[in-house]
Amino acid sequence: MSVPETVLAAMRQTNDLFSDVVGRRDFDGLDRVYTRNARVLPPGAEMVEGRQQIKAFWRGAIVGLGLKSVKLTIVDAEAVGDRVFEIGRAELLVGSGDTVTVKYVVQWKQEDGHWKWHVDIWNMNQ
Protein backbone atom coordinates (compact mmCIF):
# COMPACT_ATOMS: atom_id res chain seq x y z
CA MET A 1 0.00 0.00 0.00
CA SER A 2 1.12 3.51 -0.67
CA VAL A 3 2.15 5.63 2.29
CA PRO A 4 -0.13 8.59 3.16
CA GLU A 5 1.46 12.00 2.61
CA THR A 6 1.10 12.80 6.32
CA VAL A 7 3.22 9.76 7.19
CA LEU A 8 5.81 10.60 4.52
CA ALA A 9 6.03 14.10 6.01
CA ALA A 10 6.55 12.60 9.49
CA MET A 11 9.25 10.31 8.08
CA ARG A 12 11.05 13.24 6.48
CA GLN A 13 10.93 15.03 9.82
CA THR A 14 12.62 12.05 11.52
CA ASN A 15 15.22 11.93 8.75
CA ASP A 16 15.91 15.62 9.34
CA LEU A 17 16.41 14.87 13.04
CA PHE A 18 19.12 12.39 12.08
CA SER A 19 20.82 15.00 9.91
CA ASP A 20 20.71 17.31 12.95
CA VAL A 21 22.33 14.63 15.11
CA VAL A 22 25.19 14.43 12.63
CA GLY A 23 25.49 18.19 12.15
CA ARG A 24 25.35 19.07 15.85
CA ARG A 25 26.86 15.92 17.38
CA ASP A 26 23.71 15.79 19.53
CA PHE A 27 23.57 12.04 20.13
CA ASP A 28 20.59 12.23 22.52
CA GLY A 29 18.62 13.33 19.47
CA LEU A 30 18.77 9.67 18.42
CA ASP A 31 16.02 8.99 21.01
CA ARG A 32 13.63 10.57 18.53
CA VAL A 33 15.08 8.70 15.53
CA TYR A 34 15.30 5.08 16.72
CA THR A 35 12.74 2.95 18.60
CA ARG A 36 13.81 1.65 22.00
CA ASN A 37 14.40 -1.87 20.63
CA ALA A 38 15.80 -0.78 17.28
CA ARG A 39 18.46 -2.77 15.49
CA VAL A 40 21.22 -1.33 13.34
CA LEU A 41 23.20 -3.51 10.91
CA PRO A 42 26.25 -1.47 9.90
CA PRO A 43 28.85 -2.51 7.32
CA GLY A 44 32.08 -3.65 8.93
CA ALA A 45 30.60 -4.49 12.33
CA GLU A 46 28.18 -6.81 14.11
CA MET A 47 24.50 -5.93 14.55
CA VAL A 48 23.85 -3.30 17.25
CA GLU A 49 20.69 -3.63 19.38
CA GLY A 50 18.93 -1.09 21.59
CA ARG A 51 19.11 2.66 21.76
CA GLN A 52 22.05 3.03 24.16
CA GLN A 53 24.21 0.73 22.05
CA ILE A 54 23.07 2.54 18.92
CA LYS A 55 24.03 5.90 20.42
CA ALA A 56 27.48 4.54 21.27
CA PHE A 57 27.81 3.15 17.76
CA TRP A 58 26.90 6.44 16.05
CA ARG A 59 29.09 8.48 18.38
CA GLY A 60 32.05 6.34 17.35
CA ALA A 61 31.13 6.21 13.67
CA ILE A 62 30.30 9.91 13.22
CA VAL A 63 33.35 11.15 15.12
CA GLY A 64 35.56 8.43 13.60
CA LEU A 65 34.58 9.28 10.02
CA GLY A 66 34.57 13.00 10.74
CA LEU A 67 31.08 12.93 9.23
CA LYS A 68 30.03 16.49 8.45
CA SER A 69 26.56 16.10 7.00
CA VAL A 70 24.05 13.54 5.80
CA LYS A 71 21.30 14.00 3.25
CA LEU A 72 18.63 11.28 3.25
CA THR A 73 16.24 10.70 0.35
CA ILE A 74 13.24 8.35 0.37
CA VAL A 75 13.47 6.31 -2.87
CA ASP A 76 10.49 4.05 -2.19
CA ALA A 77 8.16 3.54 0.75
CA GLU A 78 5.43 0.95 1.23
CA ALA A 79 2.93 0.64 4.07
CA VAL A 80 2.73 -2.96 5.33
CA GLY A 81 0.52 -3.62 8.34
CA ASP A 82 1.40 -1.01 10.97
CA ARG A 83 4.92 -0.51 9.56
CA VAL A 84 6.50 1.29 6.64
CA PHE A 85 9.28 -0.32 4.60
CA GLU A 86 11.56 2.22 3.02
CA ILE A 87 14.33 1.98 0.46
CA GLY A 88 16.46 5.09 0.60
CA ARG A 89 19.60 6.82 -0.48
CA ALA A 90 22.05 8.81 1.62
CA GLU A 91 24.75 11.26 0.62
CA LEU A 92 27.45 11.52 3.28
CA LEU A 93 29.97 14.33 3.40
CA VAL A 94 32.98 12.92 5.25
CA GLY A 95 36.01 14.57 6.87
CA SER A 96 38.24 14.11 3.83
CA GLY A 97 35.80 16.22 1.80
CA ASP A 98 34.62 13.20 -0.17
CA THR A 99 30.96 12.39 -0.71
CA VAL A 100 29.97 8.77 -0.08
CA THR A 101 26.74 7.38 -1.56
CA VAL A 102 24.89 4.90 0.58
CA LYS A 103 21.70 2.91 -0.06
CA TYR A 104 19.63 1.61 2.82
CA VAL A 105 16.53 -0.24 3.95
CA VAL A 106 14.66 1.01 7.01
CA GLN A 107 11.69 -0.59 8.68
CA TRP A 108 9.68 2.20 10.28
CA LYS A 109 7.50 1.77 13.37
CA GLN A 110 5.42 4.23 15.36
CA GLU A 111 6.52 4.74 18.96
CA ASP A 112 5.14 7.38 21.35
CA GLY A 113 3.28 8.91 18.42
CA HIS A 114 6.40 9.33 16.26
CA TRP A 115 7.55 7.39 13.21
CA LYS A 116 10.99 5.98 13.99
CA TRP A 117 13.62 3.64 12.57
CA HIS A 118 13.11 0.13 13.92
CA VAL A 119 15.51 -1.80 11.67
CA ASP A 120 18.26 0.04 9.80
CA ILE A 121 20.73 -1.54 7.35
CA TRP A 122 22.86 0.03 4.65
CA ASN A 123 25.85 -0.42 2.39
CA MET A 124 28.00 1.66 0.06
CA ASN A 125 27.52 1.88 -3.70
CA GLN A 126 31.28 1.87 -4.34
Binding site for its own copies (CB under 8 A): 39, 41-47, 75, 80-83, 85, 87, 103-105, 107, 119, 121-126
User: Which residues does 83 contact at the CB level (< 8 Å), separation at least 6?
Assistant: 107, 108, 109, 118
Q: How far is the CB of 62 from its own copies (least distance, A)?
A: 18
* Dist. CA 24–CA 51, nearest whole Å: 19
Name the residue nearer to its own copies (CB basis): 63 or 124. 124
* Dist. CA 70–CA 18, nearest whole Å: 8
Amino acid occupying residue 47: M
Q: How far is the CB of 89 from its own copies (least distance, A)?
A: 9
Q: How far is the CB of 80 from its own copies (least distance, A)?
A: 4
Cα 91 to its chain centre, rounded Å, is 12
Name the residue nearer to its own copies (CB basis): 79 or 94. 79
Q: How far is the CB of 15 from its own copies (least distance, A)?
A: 18
Name the residue nearer to its own copies (CB basis): 25 or 36. 36
Name the residue nearer to its own copies (CB basis): 27 or 104. 104
Helix-strand-coil percent breakdown of the chain, rounded to 5?
A: 35, 45, 20
